[in-house]
């Protein structure tokens, strides 16, 4: 390959790389760690069947390699954010009154 053709090819590759980087912001390496079913179930405190239902209903994105299912930490965080329920301070006081949660005393 001639030097000019090589330089032209490299310029195109660099342009593609820049375009991709603009489209997808850099994610921290921790966000892209892959976890298997057992770890995700333990972390979320859910059963394997519940996790299966999340997959079947399209609630969570996953990858399947052979017979093993994997999820990224960023996907687990997205799921938690999406399912977050905002509670009022009255709800917290109710939980404290029932002994289900202890609030710090002022």
The per-residue pLDDT for range 51-101, each reduced to its tens digit, is 999 999 999 999 999 999 999 998 998 888 887 766 666 666 776 677 666
**CATH number for the domain harbouring residue 19:** 1.10.1660
Q: Which domain holds residue 32?
A: 3-82
Q: How many domains does the chain have?
A: 1
Residue 81: per-residue pLDDT? 84
pTM score, whole prediction:
0.55
Distance, in Å, from the CA atom of 85 to the CA atom of 83, rounded to the nearest integer, reads: 6
Question: Does 34 reside within a domain?
Answer: yes
Distance, in Å, from the CA atom of 47 to the CA atom of 6, rounded to the nearest integer, reads: 54
The per-residue pLDDT for range 4-46, each reduced to its tens digit, is 777 787 788 888 878 776 766 665 566 688 999 999 999 888 9
């Amino acid at each position: 390959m001639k030097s000019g053709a090589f330089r032209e090819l490299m310029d195109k590759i660099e342009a593609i790389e820049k375009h991709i980087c603009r489209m997808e912001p850099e994610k921290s390496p921790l966000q892209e760690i892959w976890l298997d079913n057992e770890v995700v179930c333990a972390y979320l405190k859910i059963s394997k069947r519940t996790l299966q239902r999340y997959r079947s209903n399209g609630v969570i994105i996953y990858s399947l390699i052979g017979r093993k299912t994997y999820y990224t930490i960023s996907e687990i965080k997205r799921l938690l954010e999406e399912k977050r329920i905002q509670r009022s301070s009255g709800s917290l006081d109710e939980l404290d009154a029932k002994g289900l949660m202890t609030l710090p005393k002022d």
